[in-house]
Structure 1
Amino acid sequence: MTKATQDVAPTTGAAPADGHDAGQTGLVTPVMRALKLLRYIADGGSTANVSDVGRRIGVNRVTVMRLIETLQFEGVLEPLPQGGHRLGLNFLTLAATALAGEDHLATARRVLTRVTTETGLSSYLTVLDGAQVRYLLCETPALPLVSNIRAGSRVTAHLTAPGRSLLAHLSTERRRALLGPEPLAAATAQSARTYASLDAQLTRDRETGCAWSQDGFEAGIDACAAAVLDAHGRPLAALSVAGPRSLVGTDTLTRERTARAVKSGAADLAILLADAPAFLAAAERG
């Protein structure tokens, strides 16, 4: 048996092979396992007990030890004095160099493209600009245009799902200062006209982690949005998807799948845009 075969084949008592590993062809399994380990460590997982690591990421103990040794040799991991490992400087500088070479909006568009591919819906990146949301990016699927919203559009914040997701993370006083006196502006019959109604909506949005809109701004168009938060919980931007109800769907499973894609995209953007001056400035204006 060759060394490569030994690395792929599980040993006695090993964790079961990952279904994704087994179900795909042409993929380099050791690389996929290394990435699983790196994600585990990046999420705060400890490598002090390699058997526990193996169970958590679905890789046998011996392979975990080999991965750690190899990644440490390459400077991708470095040992901690108290045991375990953290991401090494070689890995961090590689990531920093890659991000520094990209425009923040170009990086953000890659997330929007992924979300659109996953959901089949148009995706948008917005920031709070005074009492309005400003649409910075729009990624659309290969379908007839169904919305009047474009990159550059500005809409009163509380009338849209992304606007609500941003307002939900501001204080009550800040929201009232931005939106002004009652009655609040309305776009459709679903629009909140009072602060009591809006505050109830925003509480639900904050508790669920995303804001849903049905005919909230454009008739026949449903939307889902999640805030992109900085390390202090301030809203930097919002990621949203929108489309006709026939595509968005009305069943619980479809909507949960859409919400997961939006929340995952927002979490990725929170990391990618954390040091983007334009977004920090927009958050301050909000």
Structure 2
Amino acid sequence: MTKATSANAPAAGAPETDAQDTAQAGLVTPVMRALKLLRYVADGGSTANLSDVGRRIGVNRVTVMRLVETLQYEGVLEPLPHGGHRLGLGFLTLAASALAGEDHLATARRVLTRVTSETGLSSYLTVLDGAQVRYLLCETPALPLVSNIRAGSRVTAHLTAPGRSLLAHLGTERRRALLGPEPLAAATAQSARTYAALDAQLARDREAGCAWSQDGFEAGIDACAAAVLDAHGRPLAALSVAGPRALVGTDSVTRERTARVVKSGAVDLAVLLADAPAFLAAAERA
């Protein structure tokens, strides 16, 4: 992190924060600073040391102090007994009111739209349905359709990247109960036919935080998926992207960027779909 040069001066990293903000025509810099502070607090950051907060979000200490005072006055932040702040009831009720007025799947689609925009790939929301995954939502870029997967499609779970990302967060006995006896179903030569092979594959998926598939279900189609987990680490759904290898890319930098977007989208969906019963009820109606 860069250090502030003085209490009233912008942080040394200002070229990528305040200076950059003001260069964006039409953007309101104080609002952007307030949102940076709110994201910092929402992610668990402490406001006990305002100088440290300023260094972390690229805003000078005096501005941070004024932001905290203003947001606290408006009920968006509230002080903690032993120092620092948390999101206030004013913010939480505003967010709750906004979510209450939206259908869970409509809210989820907004995340898929963003993921497709950032990756240029088709994005999908799936849920586990017995031994299969069911595709609830699909967002596609303005490209010729390359996959046979549509909203409503059902595929044996362990044959797809989203299915593997969900199975990776189930216990061994649950997986076996769902998938049945060996040999396991296969779609390509890469498909795991034994539980030993599948368990090893799922262990790698868990470690990576996402599941990659190369020609795993459809020839020429690569996919990346991450599980959407509830507060107890149980899989609610999976977010995935898929596309032809030429578009997905084969270099590590491109794939890491794609995986980062997918994992970030899964985290956002975990927050938006936190009301699991309502989400699952919406999924049943889809």
Q: With structure 2 as the length reference, what TM-score do the two structures score?
A: 0.93
How far apart in 2 are the matches of 1:149 and 1:33?
42
Matched position secondary structure for 1:264: helix
How far apart in 2 are the matches of 1:155 and 1:46?
45
1:51-130 alignment to 2 at 5 Å? 51-130=51-130
1:127-138 alignment to 2 at 5 Å? 127-138=127-138
Counterpart residue number, 1:223: 223
How far apart in 1 are the matches of 2:202 and 2:281?
23
User: CA 1:264 to 1:97, structure 2 compared with 1: closer, same or farther past 3 Å?
Assistant: same
How far apart in 1 are the matches of 2:18 and 2:122?
31
State which of 16, 35, 49 in structure 1 corresponds to 2:13.
16
**Does the CA contact (< 8 Å) of 1:128 and 1:282 recur in 2?**
no
Per-residue CA shift, 1:183-204, capped at 9, x if unaligned? 1001111111111111111000
1:84-233 alignment to 2 at 5 Å? 84-233=84-233
Matched position secondary structure for 2:212: strand
Matched position secondary structure for 2:136: strand
Matched position secondary structure for 2:237: strand
How far apart in 2 are the matches of 1:144 and 1:273?
31
User: CA 1:18 to 1:127, structure 2 compared with 1: closer, same or farther past 3 Å?
Assistant: farther
Matched position secondary structure for 1:25: coil
**Does the CA contact (< 8 Å) of 2:230 and 2:276 recur in 1?**
no
More off after superposition, 11-20 vs 76-85: 11-20
Per-residue CA shift, 1:60-85, capped at 9, x if unaligned? 00000010111111111111111111
How far apart in 2 are the matches of 1:161 and 1:178?
17
Q: Which runs of 4+ in 1 moved over 6 A?
A: none
**Does the CA contact (< 8 Å) of 2:183 and 2:194 recur in 1?**
yes
User: CA 1:282 to 1:191, structure 2 compared with 1: closer, same or farther past 3 Å?
Assistant: farther
How far apart in 2 are the matches of 1:280 and 1:234?
13
Give 1:52's aligned amino acid: D
More off after superposition, 129-138 vs 268-277: 268-277
How far apart in 1 are the matches of 2:15 and 2:209?
29
Matched position secondary structure for 1:31: helix
Per-residue CA shift, 1:157-216, capped at 9, x if unaligned? 000000000000001111000000111001111111111111111000000000000010
Deviation at 1:27, TM superposition (A): 1.1
Deviation at 1:21, TM superposition (A): 4.1
Identity %: 90
How well do the aligned residues superpose, as a CA RMSD in angstroms? 1.6
Matched position secondary structure for 1:125: strand
Give 1:31's aligned amino acid: V
Per-residue CA shift, 1:120-175, capped at 9, x if unaligned? 00000000000000000000000000000000000000000000000000011110
Matched position secondary structure for 2:14: coil
Q: With structure 1 as the length reference, what TM-score do the two structures score?
A: 0.93
Structure 1: gaps spanning 5 or more residues: 1-9
Counterpart residue number, 1:29: 29
| Count of residue pairs the alignment pairs up | 274
**Does the CA contact (< 8 Å) of 2:105 and 2:282 recur in 1?**
no
Matched position secondary structure for 1:148: coil
Deviation at 1:40, TM superposition (A): 0.7
User: CA 1:67 to 1:110, structure 2 compared with 1: closer, same or farther past 3 Å?
Assistant: same
Structure 2: gaps spanning 5 or more residues: 1-6
Deviation at 1:26, TM superposition (A): 1.9
